[in-house]
Amino acid sequence: MRNRTRTGAARYFNLVNLGALLIALFVIIPMYWLFASAFKTTAGVGASPPQYFPNPVSTTNFQQAFGQYTFGRYILNSLVVAACSTALVLSLGTLAGYALGRLPVRGKYPVMVSLLMISVFPQIAVIAPLYLIMRDLGWLNSYQALIFPYTAFNLPFAIWILRNYFLGISMSMEESARVDGAGALRTLWSVIIPQVSPGIFTAGVFTFTACWTEFLMALSFNQQNNMRTIPVGIATFGSQFTVPYGTLFAASVVAVVPIAILVLVFRKAVVSGLTSGAVKG
Amino acid sequence: MASTQLAPTAPVAVPGTLVPPPVRRDRMTRNLARMGWGFASPALIVIGAFTIFPILFSIFVSFENVNVTGAGFSFQGLTAGNYSTVLGAGLWHHALWFTTVYTVVTVVVEVALGTVFALVLERMTQGRGMMMALLLIPWSLITVVSAELWSYIYNASYGVLSGVFHNILGAPFSATVALMFADVWKTTPFVTIIVLAGLVMIPQELLEASEVDGANGWKTFWRVTLPLLRPTIGIAVLFRVLQAFGLFDLPYVLTTGGPGTSTESLAMLGYNTMFTNLDFGPGAAVATTTAAIVLIMSLVFLKAFKAQVGKELPSA
């Protein structure tokens, strides 16, 4: 009886929602600090006791990061590398996922397990040899120095995801297209690929995010200032003794917001990718 | 990719059902198979050239005397000296110890906390979608950015926590805890999403049956929910352990391995040996041993995993 008369705000006060509120605060508070500090003045960033709200709200940090410093260039570099790697991963990964999912290829199992092992391999294991190879090819400080390794490291996961989607679609349309005389590539392009587009989105968002956030290889291969990606630019900004946090956070906000929007727009794809292992297991 | 955020890090799919190989292979099947290899080979070649070949080359470099001059690098002959130099050194022992402790503590905390978070989210009647969206934000965050953010929060003179903990990054123990906390903050949401996916798969009837039998919520959780979640939690642990063991970005930026070398992970030790000291041979030895440890761990996991879903996988 009592429950039924509870109205408005009172209905939401229970243990579950209190827990949810605490979880939300756990996530939001540090994020808020990043955003708030980006809008503080230099004095505001260094203030003690800290400014809980930027006062005055200032956009100087943004002007500095993209005017005085070259964070714009770093973002451009990240964009080129991530976009090219994603395009390569999706085109090569779709072909391979189709072959390993639908075609009677022998030795699928060892290939798929090897891919699984490669995708968990620590990157530090390939840094020394790749550095020496890139040096010999004259590729240090170039886009391809990152595009090829990024493609190689993201392909295994993309192939796994796409293969699972290829396994899930019906065989009959493919067969009737083949009977109608359509070539293999044409059948793949116009009949099969449209059916696995959720898988392509998932693989695409994952690859793009991974390339956007990658640090170790970018730090090792592209040390020259004009070839740095955004994580390297952020990590190497400032000196050992002073870190201009305001400028750094302004650049970070610009680097982080687009990817967060991408992930939120495609959040169904991201969650399905994150949980594909868990649900199948 | 195994980008240490999360990785994005990034997670891995696990084996699903594999199509059993056909017994008889007629001409059409053979043609399709040939086409299949044609389709798969560009991807496999890129993967081979930029992952498998470098790994093999890394093993070679780790047994080489590498000479670094202004003109470049040259190989001066085989040696086992790199391994004895590295494995005998206190730095490696410490890095191995630090990386292991860090991995165990963060994974245990993240999985426990992630499970609690998932249980809360599962009971939410409204706003669960919004919470999921919120949890994806730390996952998509650049690890370097989160490291800079926490270094500002922990800053000894004007950090927001400096009033509570003075100079938290100044001592080995508190610096380690500070690193772990930053990791837990960024990665628990990822674990939550995975565990939640397992949680919603549990048939409601089982939970109701347990309650009908007189078990309270706590008992139902330990006797019904948790055992059914075991495979999911196993996957989450697998992702996290392998990712955490390659730890690099967070300590490189947040503590630079300090104070001293107290928070230097194996990957950082390998990187610094190669790029700061220009000792490519010993650096490759560190990297190769790290990779070997990860490989052994993933084989153990794979075996345990196979035992769990053995019926799904042909033993071929």
Q: What is the pLDDT of residues B164-183, one digit of tens each?
A: 888 889 899 999 999 999 99
> Does B249 contact A216 at a Cβ distance shorter than 8 Å?
yes
Q: In chain B, which residues have their Cβ closer than 8 Å to the Cβ of A127?
A: 270-271, 274, 287
Tell me the shortest Cα–Cα distance from B154 to chain A, in angstroms: 12
- Nearest-Cα residue of chain B relative to residue A106: B21
> What's the pLDDT score for residue A171?
74
Residue A10 scores a pLDDT above 60: no
> What's the pLDDT score for residue B70?
59
Interface of B with A in 164-223 (CB under 8 A): 185, 189-190, 193-195, 197-198, 201
What count of other Cβ atoms lies within 10 Å of the Cβ of residue B310? 10
Interval B43-57 mean pLDDT? 92
Interface of B with A in 75-104 (CB under 8 A): none
B61 closest CB neighbour out of A109, A128, A220: A128
| Placement of tokens 């890129």 in the chain | B46
Interval A83-90 mean pLDDT? 97
> Does A256 contact B151 at a Cβ distance shorter than 8 Å?
no
Residue A9 scores a pLDDT above 70: no
Report the C-alpha gap between B17 and B5 in whole angstroms: 29
Interface of B with A in 251-290 (CB under 8 A): 252-253, 266-267, 270-271, 274-275, 280, 283-284, 286-288, 290
Report the C-alpha gap between B84 and B285 in whole angstroms: 9
Interval A196-205 mean pLDDT? 90
B157 closest CB neighbour out of A48, A155, A235: A48
pLDDT band at residue A226, thresholds of 50, 70 and 90?
very high
Domain ranges of chain B: 23-82, 86-312
Q: In chain B, which residues have their Cβ closer than 8 Å to the Cβ of A155?
A: 43, 46-47
In tens, the pLDDT along B256-276 reads 987 989 999 999 999 999 888
Residue B11 scores a pLDDT above 80: no
> What's the pLDDT score for residue A12?
60
pLDDT band at residue B89, thresholds of 50, 70 and 90?
confident
Q: How far is C-alpha A111 from the geometric centre of its chain's CA atoms?
A: 25
- The beta strand positions in B194-301, using DSSP E, are none
Q: Please name the helix (run of DSSP H) or strand (run of DSSP E) that holds residue B39, with its range, or none.
A: helix B27-47
> Does B10 contact A210 at a Cβ distance shorter than 8 Å?
yes
- Nearest-Cα residue of chain A relative to residue B189: A27
> Does A121 contact B16 at a Cβ distance shorter than 8 Å?
no
Mean pLDDT of all residues belonging to chain A: 87
Tell me the shortest Cα–Cα distance from A14 to chain B, in angstroms: 10
A277 closest CB neighbour out of B14, B72, B125: B14
Interval A81-110 mean pLDDT? 92
* Residue A57, φ and ψ in degrees, nearest 5: -70, 125
> CA distances (Å), B40 to each of A15, B20, B131, in order?
52, 19, 39
> What's the pLDDT score for residue A170?
76
Report the C-alpha gap between A202 and A261 in whole angstroms: 15
Q: Residue B311: exposed, middle, or buried by beta-carbon count in 10 A (0-12, 13-18, 19+)?
A: exposed
Residue A153 contacts residue A119 (beta carbons within 8 Å): yes
Range list for CATH 1.10.3720.10 in chain A: 69-280
Q: Residue B312: exposed, middle, or buried by beta-carbon count in 10 A (0-12, 13-18, 19+)?
A: middle
Closest of B301, B275, B299 to residue B287, by C-alpha: B275
> What's the pLDDT score for residue B306?
66
> What's the pLDDT score for residue B231?
83
> Does A126 contact B248 at a Cβ distance shorter than 8 Å?
no
Q: Which of A39-48, A103-112, A167-176, A266-275 has the lowest mean pLDDT?
A: A167-176
Report the C-alpha gap between A207 and A269 in whole angstroms: 12
> What's the pLDDT score for residue A93?
95
> CA distances (Å), A100 to each of A152, A169, B15, in order?
17, 14, 13
Q: In chain B, which residues have their Cβ closer than 8 Å to the Cβ of A109?
A: 18, 313-314, 316
| Placement of tokens 């080489």 in the chain | B64
**Encoding tokens for residue A278?**
């868990």
In tens, the pLDDT along A145-175 reads 999 999 999 999 999 889 988 888 877 777 7
Report the C-alpha gap between A7 and B221 in whole angstroms: 31
Residue B147 contacts residue B253 (beta carbons within 8 Å): yes
Name the DSSP letter for residue B312.
G
Topology adopted by domain B86-312: MetI-like fold (1.10.3720)
Residue B310 scores a pLDDT above 70: no
The one-letter code for the residue type at B94 is: H
> What's the pLDDT score for residue A7?
54
Cα-Cα end-to-end distance for chain A: 44
In tens, the pLDDT along B100-149 reads 999 999 999 999 999 999 999 998 888 888 899 999 999 999 999 999 99
Buried b (16+ CB within 10 A) or exposed e, A23-57: beebbeebbebbebbbbbbeebbbeeebbeebeee
How do B2-7 and B72-78 pair as beta strands?
Answer: unpaired
> What's the pLDDT score for residue A281?
33
Looking at per-residue pLDDT, the higher value among B152 and A275 belongs to: B152
> Does A216 contact B143 at a Cβ distance shorter than 8 Å?
no
Strand partners, B75: B66
- Roughly what angle, to the nearest 10 degrees, separates helices B27-47 and A144-168? 150
Q: Does the domain spanning A69-280 belong to CATH 1.10.3720.10?
A: yes
Report the C-alpha gap between A204 and A277 in whole angstroms: 17
pLDDT band at residue B2, thresholds of 50, 70 and 90?
very low
Check if B25 contacts A (Cβ < 8 Å): yes
Residue B6 scores a pLDDT above 50: no
